[in-house]
Amino acid sequence: MEPHWDDVKVFLAVAREESLSGAGRKLKLDPATVGRRITRLETAVEAPLFLKSPQGYTLTPAGERLLAHGERVEQAMRSGMDAITGSTDRLTGQIRIGAPDGCATYLLPQVCLSIAEENPDLDIQIVAQPRVVNLSRREADMAVTVSQPTAGQLLVQKIADYRLHLAASERYLADNRITRLDDLRGRPMVGYIPDMIFDAELDYLHELGADRVALASNSVPVQLRMTEGGHGLCVAHDFALPSHPTLRKVLTEDISLTRAFFLVRHQSDQKSERHNRFSHLLVERLRAEVARLEAAA
């Protein structure tokens, strides 16, 4: 009995989602159908591919071997489609980008809109997550990150540096004099929920020596909205400030942080002309958008 390619696609989805129901949602199939397809594939390869546990479906050694081959076949199929659709100057199909919610809120909409206007048959999806997007589970085709990954077969390209400063609302500053570092003592701070900081690069307040976060959120836009309400000070991205005109930078000579964005892709995607072209546009325009918004801050 020969394996069906469609069953291999189901296998890849279960391996990435670690459950029949998760794979079913991704493939728009009911879990029972997913289960039957996995059973059919296991019969064809004459080996169990998953172990079921309370934590979900984990790969057996045979499953691990099939995963490597299945992903190569998947990439070959993508490359074949790119060879067909790449015959025109316009990009087509679907590309999904994962990004921290600050980047996804303040940078990617304008950048993706400009790319979409030039490529009307291209579907662009932005996954805004206050965490690292898992590329190995194909949550996205590529991701913007705030630090370089150190593991996995990935392509990593630096996009741009960006800057952050301490900020407060005009209303807060009207009632509270902040002209030197000593003026920060005892002031309420707005920032990330400490135990939900998903990347050490985002632990700004710890770097500044703040020992308490009075108002916290795992979302950058929520933090800035709370700061707009006059409830304290926060570390704000300069590129976000034009969207929050009542916020003002303070102590810019004393407090200035620099971070960087990186574009991360599957290493196998370097064979995809479509992904290469999209990545080039994305990096080029993100750099320009950061520079434009920081100049306006």
Task: Give tens-digit pLDDT for 86-143.
Answer: 545 678 888 999 999 999 999 999 999 999 999 999 999 999 986 666 666 667 889 9
Same domain, 74 and 115: no
Which of 31-40, 59-68, 70-79, 194-203 is least confident?
A: 70-79
Which of 62, 84, 106 is where one domain is finished? 84
pLDDT at site 91: 83
- pLDDT confidence band for 39 (50 / 70 / 90): very high
CA distance readout (Å), 101 to 16, 108, 128, 254, 296: 23, 10, 5, 27, 21
pLDDT of residue 136: 61
Domain check: are 248 and 291 in the same one?
Answer: yes
DSSP-derived pairing of the beta strands 142-145 and 257-266: antiparallel
Residue that finishes a domain, picked among 57, 84, 111: 84
Residue percentage of the chain with pLDDT more than 90: 57
The pLDDT value recorded for residue 18 is: 87
Q: Which of 66, 47, 75 is nearest to 271 (CA)?
A: 75
- Output the domain CATH number for residue 160: 3.40.190.290
Is the per-residue pLDDT at 216 higher than 80?
A: yes
Q: Does 105 lie in the same domain as 241?
A: yes
Residues 228 and 152 in one domain: yes
Q: Where are the beta strands (DSSP E) in the chain?
A: 50-53, 56-59, 93-99, 122-128, 142-145, 154-169, 189-191, 215-216, 233-237, 247-249, 257-266
One domain for residues 37 and 150: no
Query: What was the pLDDT predicted at 87?
Result: 47
| pLDDT score for 241 | 97
Running DSSP on this structure, what letter comes out for residue 90? S
Average pLDDT over residues 211-235: 93
- For the cut 90, the answer to whether the pLDDT of residue 67 exceeds it is no
Domain that holds residue 34: 5-84
Model pLDDT, residue 81: 63
Same domain (yes/no): 105, 74: no
> Which CATH number do you get for residue 61?
1.10.10.10
Decide: helix, strand or coil at residue 4.
coil
Element (H, E) at 49: none
Residues 52 and 198 in one domain: no
Please enumerate, as own/partner, the contacts of 73-81 that have beta carbons within 8 Å and a separation of 24 or more.
73/5, 73/8, 74/8, 74/9, 74/12, 75/266, 75/268, 75/269, 75/271, 75/272, 78/269, 78/272, 79/271, 79/272
3-state secondary structure of 108: helix
Domain boundary among 84, 111, 137: 84
Whole-number mean pLDDT of the chain? 88
Name the phi and psi angles at 220, rounded to 5: -60, -50
- Same domain, residue pair 55 and 131: no
Q: How far apart are CA 56 and CA 194, in angstroms?
A: 29
In degrees and rounded to multiples of 5, residue 56 shows phi and psi of 125, -160
- Same structural domain, 280 and 135: yes
pLDDT tens digits along 166-204: 999 999 999 999 999 999 998 999 999 988 888 888 888
Q: In this structure, are 209 and 185 located in the same domain?
A: yes
Residues 250, 154 share a domain: yes
Rounded to an integer, the average pLDDT of 215-224 is 95
d(CA 146, CA 255): 20
SS3 99: strand
Query: What is the distance between the terminal CA atoms of the chain, rounded to a whole angstrom?
Result: 64
* Span 134-173, pLDDT tens digits: 666 667 889 999 998 877 778 899 999 999 999 999 999 9
Its pTM stands at 0.72
Is there a single domain that holds both residue 74 and residue 211?
Answer: no
Q: What is the pLDDT of residue 180?
A: 93
Q: Is the distance from CB of 97 to CB of 127 less than 8 angstroms?
A: yes
Asked whether residue 211 carries a pLDDT value surpassing 90, the answer given is no
40, containing H or E segment: helix 31-45
Number of domain units in the chain? 2
pLDDT at 249: 97
- What pLDDT is stored for residue 219 in this prediction? 94
Q: Read off the pLDDT of each residue in 212-237 and give the average, rounded to a whole number.
A: 94
